[in-house]
Structure 1
Amino acid sequence: MEIKKIHQDFSVCKVMDYSLVNIDAEYSFIGKTDEEKSLVCITSDVPPNVIQRDDGWKGFRIQGILDFSLIGILSKIAKILAENSISIFAISTYNTDYVLIKKENYQKALDILKDSGYEIVE
């Protein structure tokens, strides 16, 4: 399985509302519950109306369209990284899973996944 590196830096945010979010940005993941409004975006795209933010994330995508019948793809990656004390922030879209890792652990995570049989692509 291929893992494609994403070269931008990401931020994980809590926002007051989505009025200032650039929904047309290259990466913009929003999530809303009865308790909060969240945003994950490229750090340079963080809107000014954030309540909280956590910068310093790097990411990769699990390459290809992942059919809903496929089981355990993300959990295998999470398990490998957890066994090496690397935490993740996972985001799923209709087609794809994305994994964010703090910058200081990013290259180590990619090396571990490569050693575990994953192909890392630029």
Structure 2
Amino acid sequence: MKFTLLPERLAIVRLERDAEIPSWATGRFASITRTPDELSIVCEQAAVPRDARASRGWRCLALHGPFDLNATGVAAEFTTILARERVSVFVIATYDTDYVLVSNDSVESAIAALERAGHTVVSS
């Protein structure tokens, strides 16, 4: 598999389930998910208000796709590699591919683990 390390520094934000999608939830990379329990937003951390309930300091490894929606084991393969290295992940799936968020403190360990397992990681 091939990954690209995106340049953005990201934040994972939790809002109340009935919250409006905020105007700051934009940028080159943004993911918005509403569930019955919450509104989760992943976007550039510089855009997130200081008082927001957020986890900051995430980097994104974009998996080169597209992958068939019926493909099995794609996320399991890379998350298993990272789990062995004790790298926590936050995975976002889209129609075409997967995005793996790792903390800025763990990004070098994550890249090294993926490369040792035979995967390629490039910077954008």
Give TM-score, length-normalised by structure 1.
Answer: 0.90
What amino acid is the match of 1:9?
R
CA distance in 2, matches of 1:64, 1:73: 11
What amino acid is the match of 2:112?
D
Q: SS of 1:68's equivalent?
A: coil
The answer for unaligned runs of 5 or more in structure 2 is none
Question: How is 1:66-81 mapped onto 2 (pairs within 5 angstroms)?
Answer: 66-81=67-82
Q: SS of 2:22's equivalent?
A: coil
Q: Where in structure 1 do 4 or more consecutive aligned residues deviate above 4 Å? A: none
What amino acid is the match of 1:81?
L
Question: How is 1:103-118 mapped onto 2 (pairs within 5 angstroms)?
Answer: 103-118=104-119
Question: How is 1:11-22 mapped onto 2 (pairs within 5 angstroms)?
Answer: 11-16=11-16, 17-22=19-24
CA distance in 2, matches of 1:24, 1:43: 11
CA-to-aligned-CA distance 1:60-109 (integer Å, 9 cap, x gap): 11112111121111111000111111110000111110000011110110
CA distance in 1, matches of 2:95, 2:121: 22
Give TM-score, length-normalised by structure 2.
Answer: 0.88
CA distance in 1, matches of 2:51, 2:68: 36
Structure 1 equivalent of residue 5 of structure 2 = 5
What amino acid is the match of 1:39?
I
The structure that is strand-richer by fraction is 1
Structure 2 equivalent of residue 85 of structure 1 = 86
Tell me if the contact between 2:11 and 2:43 (Cα under 8 Å) persists in the aligned partners.
Answer: yes
- Fraction of identical pairs, as percent: 26
Tell me if the contact between 2:25 and 2:47 (Cα under 8 Å) persists in the aligned partners.
Answer: no
Give RMSD over aligned pairs: 1.7
Length, aligned pairs only: 121
The answer for unaligned runs of 5 or more in structure 1 is none
